[in-house]
Structure 1
Amino acid sequence: MLHIYVILKLKAGVCQHCGEKIYTKETHEKIQEIRRELKERIFL
């Protein structure tokens, strides 16, 4: 199985209660777009 790791520099807020990263809707959509593009390029 092939594993590919990608490092993305993103802006995210952090929950004051649990420390979980909080992404905007636009950032989440961009991450999904990048994942789709990577899958398409890898499996050509």
Structure 2
Amino acid sequence: MISGGLGYAFVPVMGAIIAGVALLLVLFSGRAQPEEAFANR
């Protein structure tokens, strides 16, 4: 496990990165092929 101080700084950063990547994927897939993007879910 990560020690206390690093853990509290690390988790929100990772959450923000994952949220940003997911948002970009949704935007790009939505612009490119909306039907296929919804069908693959």
**Which TM-score applies when normalising by structure 2?**
0.50
Q: Which has the higher helix share?
A: 2
Greater relative contact order (Cα < 8 A, sep 6+): 1
Q: Please say which structure displays the higher CA radius of gyration.
A: 2
Q: Which has the higher strand share?
A: 1
